[in-house]
Amino acid sequence: MSAHDLLYLVPTTVPPKVVRGDGVYVYTDDNKKILDGTGGAAVSSLGHGNREVIEYIKNQAGKVCYVHNMAFTNEPAEELAHMLVSRNPDVFARAYFANSGSEAVESAIKFALQYWQLRGEHERTHFVSRKQSYHGNTLFSLGIGKMISRRAPYEGVFPKVTSFVDPCYTYRHKKENETDEQYVYRLEKQLEDEFLVVGPNRIAAFIAETVPGAGLGCTPPVDGYFKAVRRLCDKFGILLILDEVMCGLGRTGTFHAWEQEGITPDIQTNAKTLAAGYQPISSVLVGHRVFKTFEESGTQLANFHTYQAHPLACSAAVGVQKIMARENLVQKVASTGKYLEEQLHKTFDSHPHVGDIRGRGLFWGLEFVKDKKSKQWFDPKHKVGALISKVGIKNGLFLNPGAGTYDGVHGDHLMVAPPYVITKEEVDTLISILAKSIDEAIASLPN
Ligand SMILES: Cc1ncc(COP(=O)(O)O)c(C=O)c1O
């Protein structure tokens, strides 16, 4: 067997091979122990090797592994849908399950489009999104986001039905002496202007990550921002899609991230921690407004996938969500998150190259700068986030890096999004390896 038949992210670079996982640690074939500080891509909320979840999957595998969802339903899918919908019965009417976050976003987009078609508003095909947002890697989901580095090879082929406004990004966009209210007002005005320029009757939906992850590095909105967004969407009848693929299902210290914003979405996507990486699965939660139109029309959904509502994937998610509820893991995220926040501030507030520390729950971002006072970024060619991440792996810590934080090209960040089960002692270990790795990586840069 050749070690190099697999197409790697960097085709000429073979990454370390992980052979087992246990709790917050993964182990490579050369016996290196690595603290999984972002649980992969903010996925492994229960940590690795949870025997109980594995039993759920084994149990279901003994019954049936696959059914064709165009003709049949299955028990774990029904149970999972009930768990999610019955949590917020006033908000959501139905749950739909796909395999990845990108598929969930594509499905949410298609549900929005079909909703408007069924209502006879055929002009509503435009989407307003936000800069530096990431909504997935299939062509449409990539095109509806604005992570310039990931879009670059495909610019020119994206559908021209999306426009972009500024995200809520306090560190770099909120002016000195500007109050939160004034900042929100400025963003609200910009969004309303965009709605009016496009023509509100042409807009299907506004889509946003409630707390942006990959592109912006865990930037929570300021108070009142999403209330203003909801108000504007309601004013023009535009649907609000919240993409909580990364920030949802407990990650920010509440089950849904929007619970901290005092608003509700019309359609919502989730993925990563739904089955915590034990199986690939994502969900779209469809609100009453949209579902009522589907129900009244009696038509078939114009969206389906071979592996949607997959029994094994759903069984893993049922297991994960039951454990989450039984162990009060959302509360644990909030309390361990407080500890992580304190330790991040204690260790890095005075660090000359950590410009900003922001986040919620167990979803934190560190933005790196060459000069703290002027907020000058490092030269993008040094890929500082990726460099720190690489040094971190050498030192026994994995953290997900990001680049182009400021404008898609400049700015670097790292995400700290550990498993929900991380202990305070493990947080201490994470912080100490991170501190060492930042210093080592930055010291290796040319002057
Ligand atoms: C907010 C958001 N939406 C969508 C996606 C795409 O998910 P996937 O990589 O599972 O397709 C991601 C992935 O990081 C994400 O963070």
DSSP 212: -
Whole-angstrom distance, CA of residue 139 vs CA of residue 143: 6
Question: Is 341's C-beta closer than 6 angstroms to any atom of ligand 1?
Answer: no
Query: Which ligand 1 atom lies nearest to the CA of residue 105?
Result: 4
Sign of CA dihedral 104, 8, 47, 212: negative
Question: Is 134's C-beta closer than 6 angstroms to any atom of ligand 1?
Answer: yes
Query: Which ligand 1 atom lies nearest to the CA of residue 243?
Result: 1
- Please give the distance, rounded to the nearest whole angstrom, from the Cα atom of residue 70 to the centre of ligand 1: 25
Is there a shared CATH topology between the 53-326 domain and the 328-443 domain? Answer: no
pLDDT confidence tier of residue 2, bands split at 50, 70 and 90: low
Question: Is 41's C-beta closer than 6 angstroms to any atom of ligand 1?
Answer: yes
From the list 241, 266, 270, 299, the residue with the least C-alpha distance to 103 is 270
Q: Write the pLDDT tens digit of every residue in 256-287.
A: 999 999 999 999 999 999 999 999 999 999 99
- Please give the distance, rounded to the nearest whole angstrom, from the Cα atom of residue 38 to the centre of ligand 1: 14
Q: Residues 6 or more apart from 274 whose CB is under 8 A from it?
A: 249, 281, 282, 283, 317, 320, 321
Answer yes or no: is pLDDT of 3 > 90: no
Top CATH class of 328-443 equals: alpha beta
Question: Is 243's C-beta closer than 6 angstroms to any atom of ligand 1?
Answer: yes
Q: What percent of the chain has pLDDT over 90?
A: 98
Q: Write the pLDDT tens digit of every residue in 362-408.
A: 999 999 999 999 999 999 999 999 999 999 999 999 999 999 999 99
CB 327 within 8 A of CB 419: no
Q: Write the pLDDT tens digit of every residue in 280-328.
A: 999 999 999 999 999 999 999 999 999 999 999 999 999 999 999 999 9
Residue 176, token pair as written in the block: 């000195």
Q: Residue 366 region, left (φ>0) first, then alpha (ψ -120 to 50), else beta?
A: beta
Q: What is the mean pLDDT of the chain?
A: 97
Domain range summary for the chain, segments of one domain joined by + = 53-326, 328-443
Residue to mutate (ligand 1; options 44, 97, 105; most atoms within 8 A of CB): 105
Q: Write the pLDDT tens digit of every residue in 210-239.
A: 999 999 999 999 999 999 999 999 999 999
From the list 249, 291, 232, the residue with the least C-alpha distance to 266 is 291
Residue of the nearest CA to atom 8 in ligand 1?
101
Q: Write the pLDDT tens digit of every residue in 76-126.
A: 999 999 999 999 999 999 999 999 999 999 999 999 999 999 999 999 999
Helix (H) or strand (E) segment spanning residue 329: helix 329-348
- Please give the distance, rounded to the nearest whole angstrom, from the Cα atom of residue 63 to the centre of ligand 1: 31
DSSP 99: S
From the list 208, 286, 210, the residue with the least C-alpha distance to 247 is 210
Residue of the nearest CA to atom 12 in ligand 1?
136
Question: Quick one: how far is CA 208 from the chain centroid?
Answer: 10
pLDDT of residue 1: 53
Residue 305, Cβ density class (10 Å: 0-12 exposed, 13-18 middle, ≥19 buried) = middle
pLDDT of residue 4: 80
Whole-angstrom distance, CA of residue 23 vs CA of residue 36: 9
CATH of region 53-326, choose from 1.10.287.130, 3.40.470.10, 3.40.640.10, 3.40.50.300: 3.40.640.10
User: Averaged over 191-216, what is the pLDDT?
Assistant: 98
- Please give the distance, rounded to the nearest whole angstrom, from the Cα atom of residue 417 to the centre of ligand 1: 15
